[in-house]
Chain A
Amino acid sequence: MFKKLRLTCNEATTICDKNQYGEATFLEKLKLNIHFIYCRICLKYTKQNITLTNLYKGHAKSCKTIKHGMSDEDKLALKKQLESINR
């Protein structure tokens, strides 16, 4: 039974990454916390991961304020191409 609760570091960090988006299941979180008892490295990974998540969130916020559009030049060139095909 206990074997089922054991994770490798690779599995543990995968769950940790999933948890950064709030999408790990209860069982996964339980296994992850058991893993922390004997693995300090993954605990450290997790702490740093939370820091990184906050940085990425800040980055996402500013990325989302950028409005993307095509330049008028590109549009004009595209129009010409489209017209030549549509003839």
Chain B
Amino acid sequence: MSPEEITLNPNKWIDKYADYLFNYAIVRVNNSDLAKDLVQETFFAGLKSAKNFQGKSTERTWLISILKRKVIDHYRKINSKKGQAEVRMNFYADGENEGNWLEERVPQSWDNTAEKTMENEELRSQIDICIDNLPEKYAMVFRMKTIQEFETEEICKELGITASNLWVIIHRARTQLRRCMEDNWFNK
């Protein structure tokens, strides 16, 4: 049996791959409109470069590789939005106290922790609100690592960042989230 040459069949793309690509995009960007746009761009880019398809991989793998580029492009775009991303930090930036807690940002004690950690709809939506309040870049990396539970290595590869870079982002995300949960949930 001779190996069959894989050819592209764009007429069937939507039925066969739209859900798969959409799912891939949404667990990374967590925004359904944005995910839709990325999928659309992927199909368009696929059509445009269909003549370059060499049949070495399956159609699906090929489309995913295009979508991966789209996701990384998006990440770079939100990463370059400086200023807005660097919101108030929790630690002194320089001087004698460098790296120590800012007085007004010191963690407060939480009341009724047992009651507040019962899982329910309200808690889940509060977590989502707090994650959405983070700068987009932090939210994206935090979600990939904590909610989707991707391996560190995988996230670094996909977004083109180093591991120490990732941990700094996770750290900033988590200290801001902690604060948000403290103000809006634990000590409300």
Contact = CB atoms under 8 A, between A and B. Distances in A.
A52 B35 CA distance: 28
Task: Please report whether the interface of chain A is mostly helix, strand, loop or mixed according to DSSP.
Answer: helix
Given A9-B91, A60-B148, A70-B19, A86 B27 contact: no
Nearest to A79: B14
A54 B167 CA distance: 19
A8 interface: yes
A60 B146 contact: yes
Given A8-B99, A79-B14, A70 B36 contact: yes
Interface stretch (B59-67, B73-81, B132-140, B169-177): B169-177
B149 to A, nearest CB: 6
B22 A17 contact: no
Contacts of B123: 55
A48 B13 CA distance: 47
B47 A85 contact: yes
Contacts of B11: 83, 86
Nearest to B100: A9
Interface in A1-58: 8-11, 13-14, 17-18, 20-21, 23, 41, 44-45, 48-49, 51-52, 54-56, 58
Contacts of A45: 107, 178
Nearest to A8: B99
B181 interface: yes
Contacts of A75: 14-15, 18
Interface in A53-87: 54-56, 58-60, 62-64, 67-70, 74-75, 78-79, 81-83, 85-86
Task: Please report whether the interface of chain B is mostly helix, strand, loop or mixed according to DSSP.
Answer: helix
B112 to A, nearest CB: 12
Contacts of B100: 8-10
A9 B113 contact: no
Given A68-B26, A78-B40, A85-B44, A56 B127 contact: yes
Contacts of A51: 110, 113, 117
B10 A70 contact: no
Contact of B119 (A11, A58, A68, A82): A58
Contacts of A83: 11
Nearest to A24: B167
A63 B147 contact: yes
17 contacts: A8-B99, A10-B100, A11-B99, A14-B171, A17-B174, A48-B110, A49-B178, A54-B117, A55-B127, A56-B147, A60-B147, A62-B124, A70-B36, A78-B18, A82-B13, A82-B43, A82-B47
